[in-house]
């Protein structure tokens, strides 16, 4: 494995310059909206500190909170299942469906079921699945995976959605108005929601003291599914726990503002007991999380509440697209979670960053993402996953930066080369650097020379 995997995949995305530029701007717009609404909350920084503290505490006593949650959920009439890994999760979900003779399943957004590849597993067993979130439905129809954890179809242009809908919902092939397209999907999606044998949702927060599950959505699809079908299955990772109901006051103020710039999502649903006459199952999934908890340098990544703010702000994510990360969770948070799952396969991800620090600044639970990216880089190098070219370059660079004479020589050389080549056609037209940037004219002397001449006595 080499560390160029992400860069290669990003190249494919950025080959379509118009799409890449649109993607960049669309996400930056969300980031700007986030700034606007967060600046309206004077205690924003205090909220982030609180959220970080609550998560750190919960993770440090996660076993007791899981047990407390299970006890209270059972007392509420909820059936609780435990899955050590993705395969067990999928098997449990299938067994519940089979026990209820459910042949059709409507799903609302759940990154965990993407992680477990639940759809393909269930479809192979003959279950008919409809992803009921509009963005998820778009990528389901297109046979793709989500490229963003909050806006799963953000990589698709409206004309492409129009083409898909023409094929599946009978809209005119040249229809590309988002409102018309969303309206065309509404009928079939509501029909699926009304007709399903079972509904599956994700979980945003699980509350230990009451055994309740909280799900935050905008479209209303999670609720329609869960309140209409006779069976509701909720899938959650073990890290979704929070101790108290009142902790929601902190997290709900942070989540939607960080995610989309909304003050709160349209619906914040608190599932406590099964609906009269229906059943509610929750599947608690580990799938590598308890192992990640055992890495003190990296465990705080489990505090993530999946708002996507770090994706929206990241200059690399915005320009390379979610699919270039080859992982369920893309962007900066994915780049610090994925190496814990498979270091060799995801060795390039910690390098898909300029370490500018913006992801850490916007994170509502204050995960120090840049620091973790840096630490993963050390482990990638130590594990021998750098790839020969990068290893050679790092050794060469280490030599230059470690020797004063080589450093001064390299500086002189760099200035000289830049002077003759900053506007050279081969650089401007042939290289990614030149195409995207105006290179500065290099100064005649180094700062060191200037200082010696002007300041040194």
Partner 1 sequence: MTSRERILQAVRANRGEERPLPELPAGAALPDDAVQRFMAMIEEVGGEAMLVTKAEVHGLVASRDSESATVVSMVAEYPHSTTKVSARSPLAALEGIDLVVLRGALGVVENGAIWLTEEAMTHRALPFVAMHLVLLLRADQLVADMHGAYAALSRDASGFGVFVSGPSKTADIERALVIGAQGPRSLLVVVIR
Q: Which of residues 377-436 bind partner 1 (CB under 8 A)?
A: none
Q: Which is nearer to partner 1, 190 or 345 (CB)?
A: 190
How is 112-145 classified by DSSP, letter by letter? Answer: HHHHHTHHHHHHHTT-EEEE-SHHHHHHHHTT--
319 binds partner 1 (CB under 8 A): no
Looking at the Cβ atoms of 277 and 425, the one nearer to partner 1 is 277
Greatest pairwise CA separation for the chain in angstroms: 88
Nearest CA to 390 out of 348, 432, 356, 355 is that of 348
Which residue in the set 9, 284, 309, 333 belongs to the binding site for partner 1 (CB under 8 A)? Answer: 284
Taking CB under 8 A as the rule, which mask of x and - marks residues 19-38 in contact with partner 1? Answer: -------x--xx--------
Q: Please give the size of the binding site for partner 1, defined by CB under 8 A.
A: 92
Give me the least distance between CB of 51 and partner 1, in Å please: 9
Query: Binding of partner 1 at residue 50 (CB under 8 A)?
Result: yes
Q: What is the rounded CA–CA span in Å between residue 120 and residue 143?
A: 11
Q: Using CB under 8 A, which of 19, 227, 345, 391 touches partner 1?
A: 227
Compare residues 278 and 428 and give the one whose CB is closer to partner 1.
Answer: 278
Can you read off the two tokens belonging to residue 262? 């909304």
Decide: is 71 part of the binding site for partner 1 (CB under 8 A).
no
Other C-beta atoms closer than 10 Å to the C-beta of 43 total: 10
Distance CA 370, CA 356 (A): 8
Stretch of 115-123, 134-142, 423-431, 445-453 lying at the interface with partner 1 (CB under 8 A)? 134-142
Binding mask 170-209 toward partner 1 (x if CB under 8 A, else -) reads: --------xx-xxx--x--xx--xx---------------
User: Per rule CB under 8 A, is residue 277 in the interface with partner 1?
Assistant: yes
Q: Is 115 in the site for partner 1 (CB under 8 A)?
A: no
Is the Cβ–Cβ distance between 2 and 348 less than 8 Å?
yes
Cα 348 from chain centre = 17
367 contacts partner 1 (rule: CB under 8 A): no
Nearer to partner 1, 265 or 348 (CB): 265
> Is residue 303 within 8 Å of 56, Cβ to Cβ?
yes
Toward partner 1, which CB reaches closer, 16 or 436?
Answer: 16
Comparing CA positions, the residue from 3, 110, 5, 12 lying closest to residue 325 is 5
Check binding of 10 to partner 1 (CB under 8 A). no
The torsion of the CA quartet 73, 49, 359, 57, rounded to 10 degrees, works out to -40
Candidates 142, 274, 357, 387: give the one binding partner 1 (CB under 8 A): 274
Q: Which two tokens stand for residue 73?
A: 């959920």
- Among the listed residues 250, 215, 207, the one whose alpha carbon sits nearest the alpha carbon of residue 233: 215
Stretch that binds partner 1, among 81-89, 317-325, 426-434, 436-444 (CB under 8 A): 81-89
HSE-CB of 253 using CA atoms within 13 angstroms: 18
Residue 260 to residue 29: CA distance in whole angstroms: 10
Kindly tell me which residue out of 220, 315, 357, 411 binds partner 1, with binding defined by CB under 8 A: 220
**130 makes contact with partner 1 (CB under 8 A):** no
- Tell me 104's DSSP state: E
Q: Do you know the residue count of the chain?
A: 457
- Residue 455 and residue 169: Cα distance in Å, rounded? 74
Among 2, 104, 290, 421, binds partner 1 (CB under 8 A): 290
- Using rule CB under 8 A, residue 275 touches partner 1: yes
Tokens read off for 317: 């994510």
Stretch of residues binding partner 1 (CB under 8 A), selected from 96-104, 110-118, 287-295, 380-388? 287-295
Q: Which is nearer to partner 1, 205 or 351 (CB)?
A: 205
| Beta-bridge partners for 331 | none
Asked whether position 118 contacts partner 1 by CB under 8 A, the answer is: no
Closest residue by Cα to residue 203 from 300, 121, 89: 89
Using CB under 8 A, pick the residue from 268, 371, 421, 446 that binds partner 1. Answer: 268
Work out whether 363 is an interface residue with partner 1 (CB under 8 A).
Answer: no
54 binds partner 1 (CB under 8 A): yes
């Amino acid at each position: 494995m080499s560390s160029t995997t992400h860069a290669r995949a990003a190249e494919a995305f950025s080959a379509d310059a118009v799409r890449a530029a649109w993607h960049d701007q669309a996400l930056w717009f969300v980031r700007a909206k986030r700034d606007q609404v967060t600046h309206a909350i004077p205690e924003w920084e205090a909220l982030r500190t609180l959220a970080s503290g609550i998560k750190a505490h919960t993770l440090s006593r996660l076993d007791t909170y899981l047990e407390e949650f299970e006890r209270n959920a059972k007392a509420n009439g909820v059936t609780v299942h435990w899955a050590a890994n993705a395969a067990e999760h999928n098997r449990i979900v299938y067994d519940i469906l089979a026990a209820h003779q459910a042949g059709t399943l409507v799903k609302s957004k759940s990154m965990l079921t993407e992680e477990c590849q639940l759809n393909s597993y269930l479809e192979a067993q003959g279950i008919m699945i409809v992803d009921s979130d509009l963005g998820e439905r778009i990528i389901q129809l297109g046979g793709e995976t989500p490229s963003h954890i909050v806006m799963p179809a953000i990589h698709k242009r409206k004309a492409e959605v129009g083409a898909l809908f023409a094929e599946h919902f009978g809209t005119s092939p040249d229809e590309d108005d988002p409102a018309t397209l969303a309206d065309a999907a509404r009928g079939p999606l509501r029909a699926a929601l009304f007709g399903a044998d079972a509904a599956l949702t994700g979980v945003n927060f699980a509350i230990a003291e009451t055994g309740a599950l909280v799900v935050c959505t905008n479209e209303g699809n999670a609720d329609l599914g869960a309140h209409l079908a006779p069976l509701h299955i909720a899938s959650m990772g073990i890290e979704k726990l929070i101790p108290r109901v009142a902790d929601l006051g902190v997290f709900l103020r942070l989540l939607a503002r960080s995610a989309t710039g909304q003050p709160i999502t349209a619906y914040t649903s608190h599932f406590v007991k099964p609906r009269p006459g229906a059943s509610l199952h929750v599947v608690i999934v580990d799938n590598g999380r308890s192992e990640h908890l055992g890495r003190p340098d990296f465990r705080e990544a489990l505090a993530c509440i999946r708002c996507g703010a770090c994706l929206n702000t990241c200059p690399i994510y915005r320009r390379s697209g979610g699919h270039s990360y080859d992982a369920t969770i893309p962007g900066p948070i994915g780049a610090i979670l994925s190496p814990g799952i498979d270091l060799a396969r995801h060795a390039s991800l910690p390098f898909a960053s300029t370490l500018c620090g913006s992801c850490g600044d916007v994170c509502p639970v204050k995960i120090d993402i840049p620091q973790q990216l840096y630490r993963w880089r050390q482990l990638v190098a130590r594990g021998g996953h750098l790839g020969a070219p990068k290893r050679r370059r790092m050794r060469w660079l280490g030599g230059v930066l470690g020797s004063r004479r080589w450093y001064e020589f390299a500086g002189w050389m760099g200035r000289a080369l830049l002077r003759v080549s900053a506007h050279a056609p081969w650089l401007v037209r042939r290289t990614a650097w030149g195409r995207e940037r105006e290179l500065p004219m290099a100064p005649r002397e180094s700062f060191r020379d200037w200082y010696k001449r002007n300041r040194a006595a």
